[in-house]
Amino acid sequence: MDKENKNNEVNEEIVNEQVEDTQKAVSDEQEPTGQKQQEKTPEEKIAELEKQIEGLKNQQLYKVAEFDNFRKRVMQEKAELIKNGGSKVIATLLPIIDDLERAQQNMDSYEDVAAVKEGLNLIIDKFFKLLAQEGLQKMDVVGNDFDADYHEAIAMVPGQPEEMKGKVMDCMTPGYILNDKVIRYAKVAVAD
Residue 23 lies in a domain: no
The confidence score (pLDDT) of residue 9 equals 65
The confidence score (pLDDT) of residue 160 equals 83
Q: 152: Cβ–Cβ under 8 A, 6 or more apart, which residues?
A: 185, 186, 187, 188
Model pLDDT for residues 135-151, shown as the tens digit of each residue: 999 999 998 999 999 99
Nearest to 190 by CA among 140, 152, 138, 162: 152
Residue 186 lies in a domain: yes
Which helix or strand (DSSP H or E) is residue 7 part of? helix 2-38
Residue 185 lies in a domain: yes
Q: What is the CATH number of the domain that holds 169?
A: 2.30.22.10
Count up the domains in the chain and report the number. Answer: 1
**Range(s) of the domain holding residue 179:** 137-192
Model pLDDT for residues 83-114, shown as the tens digit of each residue: 887 888 888 889 999 999 988 888 878 788 88
Model pLDDT for residues 37-56, shown as the tens digit of each residue: 568 899 999 999 999 999 99
Residue 73 has phi, psi (to 5 degrees) of -65, -40
Residue 34 lies in a domain: no
Residue 120 lies in a domain: no
Query: Using only C-alpha atoms, what is the Rg of the chain?
Result: 48
Q: 135: Cβ–Cβ under 8 A, 6 or more apart, which residues?
A: 178, 179
